[in-house]
């Protein structure tokens, strides 16, 4: 979006609370990530969290190879949701939004899933895949935000930043 920023890693427990739905969880985590940063006065903090959801089950980052292969096998030939919560905090005020995208995978064979795991790409990725990388070959279709599946829905993020007083650079403003 042409904005200058500083990335800050935060330590937030990303586990789902008992009885918590995925949509509530990703928004909660996005807000918690903004609260885990002690910004300079006047600084706006952005946080986001993404989960892959199939039949109500949240697929976070795979714990190991077996977990990744299990996720890919379950997603194979099925439609699932990718939910990304985004939050912006300015001072004590926080606003958040949820992006939900429907993703349909083609069938994935066990050998192909193993080859994909061995590429290293699924490590650290919700649902054990990256749509913007090699994992994109599994995606038959999407309905919703491509950038939300990547992990930061640009449209929704831009709207939240505007609400916090951050406008895009002048050269982009006219195009938006």
> Would you name the residues annotated as active-site residues?
49
Decide if 108 contacts 76 (C-beta within 8 A): yes
Closest CA to 124 of 79, 84, 64: 64
Closest CA to 75 of 115, 129, 24: 129
Question: What whole-number distance in Å separates Cα of residue 72 and Cα of residue 40?
Answer: 42
Helices marked H in 21-153: 22-35, 65-75, 110-118, 146-150
Q: Look-up: residue for tokens 């946080």? A: 47
């Amino acid at each position: 979006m042409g904005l200058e920023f500083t990335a800050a890693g935060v330590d937030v427990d990303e586990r789902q609370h008992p009885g918590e739905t995925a949509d509530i969880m990703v928004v909660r985590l996005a807000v918690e990530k903004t609260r885990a940063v002690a910004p300079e006065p006047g600084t706006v903090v952005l946080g986001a969290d993404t989960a892959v959801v199939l039949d109500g089950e949240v697929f976070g980052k795979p714990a190991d190879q077996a977990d990744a292969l299990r996720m890919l096998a379950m997603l194979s030939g099925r439609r699932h949701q990718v939910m990304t919560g985004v939050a912006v905090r300015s001072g004590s005020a926080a606003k958040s939004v949820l992006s939900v995208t429907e993703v349909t995978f083609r069938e994935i064979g066990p050998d192909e899933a193993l080859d994909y795991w061995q590429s290293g790409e699924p490590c650290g990725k919700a649902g054990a895949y990256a749509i913007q990388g090699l994992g994109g070959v599994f995606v038959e279709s999407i309905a919703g935000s491509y950038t939300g599946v990547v992990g930061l829905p640009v449209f929704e993020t831009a709207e939240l930043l505007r609400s916090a007083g951050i406008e895009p650079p002048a050269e982009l403003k006219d195009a938006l």
